Each structure stands twice: as C-alpha cells, then as structure tokens.
Chains A and B, each alone.
Chain A
Amino acid sequence: MTTDTAPLLSIRGLRVSYRAGDGAPPAVRGVDLDIAPGEVVALVGESGSGKSTTAHAVIGLLPPGGRMDGGRVLFEGTDLATAGERELRARRGRDIGLIPQDPMVSLNPVQRIGRQVAEVLLIHGLADRASAPAEAVRILGQAGLPDPGVRARQYPHELSGGMRQRVLIAIAVAARPKLVIADEPTSALDVTVQRRILDHLQTLTRQAGTAVLLITHDLGVAADRARRIAVMSEGEIVETGPVRQVLTAPRHPYTRRLLASAPSMATEPVRVRARAQARARALPRAQALPRAQARVRVREVAAGEPAAEGGAPVGEGLDSAEGLVVGEGLDAAGGLDAAEGLVVTEGLDAAGGLDGAGGPLVVAEGLVKEFTPRGRARACAVDGVDFTIRRGESFALVGESGSGKSTTARMVARLTDPTEGRIRFDGQDITALSGAALRRLRRRVQLVHQNPYSSLDPRRSVADAVTEPLRAFRVGDRAARLRRAAELLDRVALPAATLRRRPGELSGGQRQRVAIARALALGPDLVICDEPVSALDVSVQARILELLAEFQRDLGLSYLFISHDLAVVRQIADRVGVMRGGRLLETGTTDEVFASPSHPYTKELLAAIPGGRHAVPARSA
C-alpha cells in the first residue's frame, strides 16, 4: 500500500459468514484492502473465494443469510459496516456505483431503459421529473450506447447483452460516484464486446477520476485494467501488490497456481504438455498392447529431439519433423527398445502414410441451416460451412454468440438437420441417416455439454448417469455396467464412492468429469465438446483440459470443440476454424491461426484476449 493520499475506501478486518448451518467456514475471513481516490484495484479469485461477498459487503448488500461478523468498511472516514440503512441508501448509487454480473437479468424487464437510468437521479435528487428523462438519454450516450434516445424508450429484452451492460454502466456512473464496484462486469459477454466495454468503462472512470474495484476471476482482465491486484482465496487476501509485481514475482503459492492455470497467461498449451508426457509413456504402453489396440496417437514430437536412438524413425515415408510415428507395423519395426519418445498411431498402412486407413473422420460440405423466426424473414444460422476432422485430431470452432458454431456442432451430431449440405462420418454419408443406422451413429458420436450443472439429472445418481448410455444400447448386464462405470470414474480421476452420489453433492469440475465419463462410456470415435470448460474456474478448467488431452492421447479420440474462448482453444485444439455470422472465415492449424491470422476478424478476436498487454514468461506448473 504505497498510496500517499488518504484512501477513499479502507476495508479493515472484514469478516462475513453465511448462515449455512453445517459449520461451513466463513465466506470472508479478515480482509484488509485500501483503494485510493481514482485508483483501479482488481480483486481476483475463483468462485467461492469471497471476492463478490467482499464487494457486496462494502455497500451493505449481502445476499440473504449473509452476516457481517466484524471489521470496518471506512468510506471517506465513515464506517459503512455500522452505518444505518438511511446512510447506506444515501451512499449507494450516489457515492458508490455497482455494475452487476449478468446484464441479461440485472435490468427490470418491464421498465423502459430510460426510466431505469433516470431512477438513480431521481432517488438522489440530482434531477427532477421534468429533467430526468433527457438527462438519462445523455448518460446513456456517454456510456457508449448507440441511438440513446431510441434505446431509452425500449425495454431491456430489445437490447443485446453488450448494450444492456452499457445501460448498467450508465446506471452505475449516472450520479458521478467516487467509487464504482464492477462485479465480473463482462464475464457473460463475448470477448470483443467485453474488450470494448472495459475500454469504455476505463475511459469513463479515468475522465471522472472515479476509483474502481474490479471483481474478476480472470487474471488477464485484472492485468489489463488494474493498477493493483489483490488475490483472494478462501476468504482471505493472500497477496496484493502492483500488477507487474504480482504477475512476474508472485509470492504466494496460490497466486502462482492461478497464474499457471490461467489459459490466457500460460504459454505452453495443454496439448503440447500432454504429448510430452505421452512420449515418456508411449513405449511401454505400446509394447504391452495387442496390435489392434495400439491406438495411441500423438502427432507432434518436439522437433530436433532424436526420435529413435536405435536408428531411423520407424515407419517409412514419414516426415521426420512430425516425429516418430509407429503404427500397426510394430513387429516389423523392430529395435523399439531403444526408441525414446515413441508415438503410436492407428491407421498406418504398410506404406507408412498417415491417415492411410479410411481418410478423415468427419467431412462437412456446404452445411447450411436456415430458420424462420416468428413473424420475420428466413435467416441463416449457418451459411455454407466446410471442414474436415481427421482421426485423433482436435478441431475447434471458435466464434462469438450467434456465430453458428453450436448449430454446426448440432448438425454434425445429427441433433438438428441441415437445410443443405452433406456430412460424412468415417466415409459414410450420415446427412439423412435415420432409425437404426442413426442409433448406431449415436454410439460413435458423443457430447459433453457446456453446463455441467444442468446436463446431469439432479435426481439420479452418478452411477445412473454414467451407465445410461450403456443401458440405452443394452451393453452388458447390470454388474458389468457398474464395473464399467467405476472404471470410467477412475479414468476421470474420481473416487469410486462418487458412483452413489448425486450431482448436487459434486463441484462443477467433478460434474464435468462425470459428464466426460458418460460421454466415453460407449467408446466413441468423436466427442463433441460444447464449451466444456466455460462454466468452470480457471484452475478446474486447466485440469479438465488436461484430462481431455490425456484421453485423446490414450484412446485416439477426435474432438470437435466449440468455444468462444480463444485462450482455451489454443490449449487444446490442433486446428481451428473461426466462425462469424454463420460463415467459416478461416481454418488452419492452431499455431498458424494464432501466429499469423489472415482474416481481420480473427485478428480482432486475438487482440481481445485479456492479458495480452502483459506477456508473462513461461513457468513450469
């Protein structure tokens, strides 16, 4: 705390607990934090760290059941922790503005926008009934809302998420407060929108000299926007300091862990790490496996590393830069003992060519999906998309909401029918598959959904969830299915006791592991992952991505990844397709697309990844 002026906000020994009953630890355990006038401080932590609770305690708006157990919240010398309702009300909105988390639900759906902005001014007597409407329009314009006059007369549902967040920013800054608390202000928005809105908020607050307490789970966002970072974990601030210091010389182990798992900050993608590990394990495993099961495949081996010390790379005709690839010709290869970093793949024919057997797994040609919204003209959700997914490859479709990426994935899974175009799976045209043939396809294509909180039936045990696909296809008897479920849980690193639990008793990460186990139950060839980690904390995200990479390595799975998060995509995908407005703008290997994007939109997307302003040196996790 190097501020020489008196702090605007000074939190001392703040303790908050929730009336949970079962001896749950307090949510906030003695937090100290200072914010100087005009200063931007980021409070970073994962869900449950107490960061939001701290922020809400400042303005005395704890959720039901929350209680302040002690500490002081000094704002300009007044202790808000002990202040009465009247004092707090006078401060809220007037001296301290709040930008809430989810713009979609934070505006009153039955009130016009203008009135909701004007309300702040009316409450604090900053305008009268006659002048408030015009004032509200002016503030909306200031918050960067296009056509503020028109918007003011609209209802929230007529505005996009980004526009609604601008309205909420307008509400927060309307009374020119001294402090703005931004609680994950853009987590629910697309990256490019997120960036523009954060830029605008920064401009607004800087001009007005407003201090900002930015609550975020994203170290990248914190690094880009704040002067100081406070890292919170389990109700305590474990580290605080200037951005550069926290990022480059973190003192606390938790900060280091957080830095290592932040997808936008890590430099070594999970897929590369997974493959490096595979090298160490591949050989004994390959030898132990019968030939037909040798399905481990890792394409890349670090260049320059001697592939096989025993001699020439095994498998004729392979590009040596791609590393050593050993396939079904294991016996013929010989001299395996000496090979370090051995990589095994299936589908190598005698000639040794890659993808020799059966060609690519998925080929989509000219996919179009039209739909007719009620009372409006036909529109294209997907407009002529072509791509291929090779065997054992991760292909990612990246785009913002409304880009058509999820619709494309649903067409590949045959959950929705394309209006035009063709999909081939393993050489077979599946575009018009139906009945028994479609059911057989379902066995080979599985899905992992975005939200593990809603994709598992809360009333059924984990065992039920995992064995459901097996029951659906009448695989094995009850005992065999349970054995398989236990085996799968073991593979996703969950204890066998989890089988008897219900989803409600599991954390988000554990649930997503269960969902992955369920997707793998039938031994599919293709797993479609629709934003598989976007609902999870970064450290959990990293572990799930590692798990997915590991399965790909061991089982030779192909993935179709759907994501809005380029940082996550870079972690896992071999190739990337960038979508916008139903079109595939560019495809290429992940490294190519990230290093030299050809389409301007891809460049914009890349620039919007938070944390780009502070490149962090690689750190071994």
Chain B
Amino acid sequence: MPRYLVQRLLQAVFVLWAAFTTSFVVLYLLPGDPVSIMASGGGDTNDVSPEQIAELKQVYGFDKPLIESYGDRLWHALRGDFGISVQSGDPVTRLIADQLPATLQLTSAALLLAVVLGAGVALAATYTRRRWLRQTLLSLPALGVSAPTFWVGLILVQLVSFRWGLLPAIGNEGFRSVILPAITLAVPTSAVIAQVFAKSLRTALAEPYAQTALAKGASRRRVHFGHALRNAAIPPLTVAGVVVGNLLAGSVVVETVFSRTGIGRVTATAVTAQDIPVVQGLVVFGALAFVLANLAVDLLVPLLDPRITAAAPAVAR
C-alpha cells in the first residue's frame, strides 16, 4: 500500500504544480501588462500614477526577470500565499477560506444528492422488469446532462419558490436555502453517475458469475445487490471523482442564479474584474479539490475490488 500511496501523492503534487504554472503562464504572460490590468481593476480608468504602477510591480515581483518572478510566486504559493486581491485588498488565501464553507455545504449536499439520485435511477432501471419503466429511467440521464444548469435553477425557483412558496429562492440562510441550489447542481452530475452505473450494472448482470448465483437459487434481488452492485461500483466511483470538478464549475452558475455567496461567486467576480491573483488562487484551489477527490477514489477502489492492490493499481489494469 505505501508505494501505491506515495505514487499517488507524487502525482497529486505534480498536478498542483502544473495547475499553478499553467495559470501563471496564461494569466501573467499573455497579452497586456498584468500590473496595468490590476491597477485599472479591469476598468478603463487611467487614473493610476506611474509611481503606483512601479510600486505594484515591486509588490508582485514584476520588476524582476520573468523566471525570478515565477520562482518568487511559486515560493509564496507553497506557503499558501497567493498574493492580494486587487479588488478587495484581502489576501487571496483568506478570501477563499472565508467563502469555502458556503460552497462546501452546497457541493457536498449536491454530491450526496447526485450519488443517491444517480445510483437510484441506475439500480431501478436495471432491476425493474417493466420495459416501459426501464426505458423511461434510462432516458433520464441524457435529459439531465443536456438541460443547462441555469435553466434548471430558474425553473425550480419559478415553481418551488415563487408559485408554491415552499423554499427560499435566494440567499445563504440555513439548511432550507441549500436545497434548491443543491438539486440544481446535482442534476447533471447525477445524470452522469446514473449513465455510467446503469451500464456497469448491466455488464455485471450479464457476467457468468451472475448466472452462477442464479443457479444457486438466489433471488434477483440477491444477485442484483449481493453480487452485481459491488462489481459495478468502480466505474461510477471513478466518475464521481472526476465530477467534483464539474461541481465546482457548476457552483459558479448556481451561486449566481440563487444569489448565494461562495467560491463560485468569487470566481465570477474575479474573472469579470480580471483580479489575477484571485483567479490564480482559484485555479490552484480547483486543482487541489480535484486531486483530493481522486486520491480518495484511488484509496477506495482497492477496498471494493481485491484484484486491485498496491502491486497493481487501477491504472495498470
């Protein structure tokens, strides 16, 4: 196990470094003078004095040669310092940390919902003997993936909040306010999970070992939940690791639609205002979330399938 773990950790570190470097290159080296953009705050006001620009350059290390300033930024980033937000003047790290709980609440609720919903649809679709029900259930994922997130959000707000007045339409206050945004965010994710899980379940049920179980006299339920479920769980689990990234991306739209505070909102405003240190901090944060989720999946997979062990990790199979 340790070697497997070390390998995974090294991969994770590499991904983080690559995310940092890429965002550095893209944000600081592409057209325009980053300091002028920062100073102007994304607007077109030209009331920044040359002295201020020189000062900013010094603060951000842009008075030094490129490679040195990269090294400087990387060194700071390693200690958790991604600079200072141009807009608010707060340290980027604190800005993200402040907004994290709200987004974590939203995304984890959405993930839980997506897993329950996705797995439910997949299990029901493969278990039912009614053809029409199976076909209906299996067509849901395609619908869920193709419906735009903001549209689902608006429909929900329209119906549940405005027409029926059941749940608040906007805001961050309390558990009730999470429900609608979490559902909105969960729809596309659950669709992907349902799709992958239904397929892997069907494959598992067609395997000869399912036949062996039936020949023992096992009921369909026993074969489905006792044999096929665990065998079929790995593909959707792997996908779940990947969709964590989608959840973060989705939070940008969902938090905007439901007027919630959180990482998504910070992202939206930072991008509009070209608040480069914040954007870079968010890119690296996104990479971190993604890496952690996949690390968790990699550690879970050997527990599900004894064939995948430290000696032969999932990727080698």
Task: Using CB atoms and an 8 Å cutoff, list the residues of chain A in contact with chain B.
Answer: 59, 61, 64, 89-94, 97-98, 100-102, 105-111, 119-120, 123-124, 155, 157, 168, 171-172, 374-375
Q: State the total of A-B contacts with C-beta under 8 angstroms.
A: 77
Q: Is the CB of A107 within 8 A of B212?
A: yes
A92–B212 contact, CB under 8 A?
no
Given A100-B208, A168-B212, A110 and B217 contact (CB-CB distance below 8 Å) = no
15 further A-B contacts with Cβ under 8 Å, apart from A101-B208, A105-B208, A123-B217, are: A89-B217, A92-B215, A98-B212, A106-B208, A106-B209, A107-B209, A108-B231, A119-B213, A119-B218, A123-B218, A123-B222, A155-B306, A157-B306, A171-B216, A375-B311
Please give, as numbers and ranges, the residues of chain B lying within 8 Å of A61 by CB-CB distance: 211, 214-215
Distance of A387 Cα from B244 Cα, bound (Å): 59
Please indicate the chain B residues that have their CB under 8 angstroms from the CB of A94 in the complex.
217
Binary per-residue interface labels of chain B (215-233) against chain A in the complex, 1 for a CB within 8 Å, 0 otherwise:
1111100100011001100
Q: How far apart sit A171 and B212, CA to CA, in the bound complex (Å)?
A: 9
Cβ–Cβ < 8 Å partners of B214 in chain A = 61, 92
Residues of B within 8 A of A90 (CB): 217
Which chain B residues lie closer than 8 Å to A374 at the CB level? 311-312
Contacting residues, chain B, for A98 (C-beta < 8 A) = 212, 215
Contact (Cβ within 8 A) B209 A109:
yes
Chain B residue nearest to A60 (CB atoms) is B214
Number of B residues, CB within 8 Å of A: 24
- With A108-B231, A109-B307, A110-B230 already in contact, the answer to whether A119 and B209 are too (CB < 8 A) is no
Structural contact, A97 and B215, CB atoms closer than 8 A: yes
Residue B207 interfacial (CB < 8 Å): yes
Q: Which has the most chain A C-beta neighbours within 10 Å: B212, B216, B219?
A: B216
Whole-angstrom distance from the CB of A183 to the nearest CB of chain B?
10
20 pairs, CB–CB < 8 Å, chain A vs chain B: A61-B215, A92-B215, A92-B217, A93-B216, A94-B217, A100-B208, A102-B208, A105-B207, A105-B209, A106-B211, A108-B209, A108-B213, A110-B307, A111-B227, A111-B230, A119-B213, A119-B226, A120-B217, A171-B212, A172-B215
Find residues 290-314 in chain B having any chain A CB closer than 8 Å to their own CB. Answer: 304-307, 311-312
Is B211 a contact of A93 with CB atoms below 8 Å? no
> How far is B209's CA from A102's CA once the two chains are assembled, in angstroms?
10
Q: A105-B207, A105-B208 are in contact. Are A110 and B305 (CB under 8 A)?
A: yes
B231 interface neighbour in A100, A109, A172, Cβ under 8 Å: A109
Report the bound CA distance from A479 to B86 in whole Å: 71
Query: Which chain B positions have C-beta within 8 A of A64?
Result: 206
Which residues of chain B come closer than 8 Å to A91, judged between CB atoms? 217
A-side interface mostly: loop
In the complex, residue of chain B having the shortest beta-carbon distance to the beta carbon of A111:
B227
B208–A93 touching, CB < 8 Å: no
Interface residues in B218-267 (C-beta closer than 8 Å to A): 218-219, 222, 226-227, 230-231
Q: Tell me whether B212 and A110 are in contact (CB under 8 A).
A: no
- Chain A residues with Cβ below 8 Å from B218 are 89, 93, 119, 123
A119 to B211, Cβ gap below 8 A? no
Would A93 and B231 be within 8 Å (CB), given that A100-B208, A105-B207, A106-B209 are in contact? no
Contacts of B306 in A (CB 8 A): 109-110, 155, 157
- In angstroms, how far is the closest chain B Cβ from the Cβ of A53? 13
Q: In the complex, are the beta carbons of B211 and A110 less than 8 A apart? A: no
Give the complex CA separation of A168 and B217 in angstroms.
14
CB distance from B234 to the nearest CB of A (A): 9
Residues of B within 8 A of A119 (CB): 213, 216, 218, 226
Minimum CB–CB distance from A335 to chain B (whole Å) comes to 65
How far apart sit A425 and B306, CA to CA, in the bound complex (Å)? 46
Closest to A171 in B: B216
Residue of B nearest to A174 (CB): B216
Contacting residues, chain A, for B216 (C-beta < 8 A): 92-93, 119-120, 123, 171
Closest to A121 in B: B216
With contacts A102-B208, A109-B231 taken as known, whether A124 is within 8 angstroms of B217 at the C-beta atoms is: yes
Residue of A nearest to B3 (CB): A375
Within 8 A of A (CB), among B167-218: 206-209, 211-218
Q: How far is the CB of A60 from chain B (nearest CB, A)?
A: 9
Closest chain B residue to A158, Cβ basis: B306
CA distance A374 to B316 in the complex (A): 11
Query: Which chain A residues lie closer than 8 Å to B231 at the CB level?
Result: 108-110
Closest residue of B by beta carbon distance from A59: B215
Which residue of A89, A106, A172 contacts B219 across the interface (Cβ within 8 Å)? Answer: A89
Measured between beta carbons, the chain A residues less than 8 angstroms from B206 are 64
For the complex, give the distance between the alpha carbons of A93 and B217 in Å.
5
List B contacts of A93 (CB < 8 A). Answer: 215-218
* A119 (CB) vs chain B CBs: closest residue: B216
A105 to B211, CA, bound (A): 10
The CA-CA distance from A211 to B216 in the complex, in Å, is 17
Question: A413 to chain B: closest CB distance in Å?
Answer: 27
- Cα(A374)–Cα(B309), bound, Å: 12
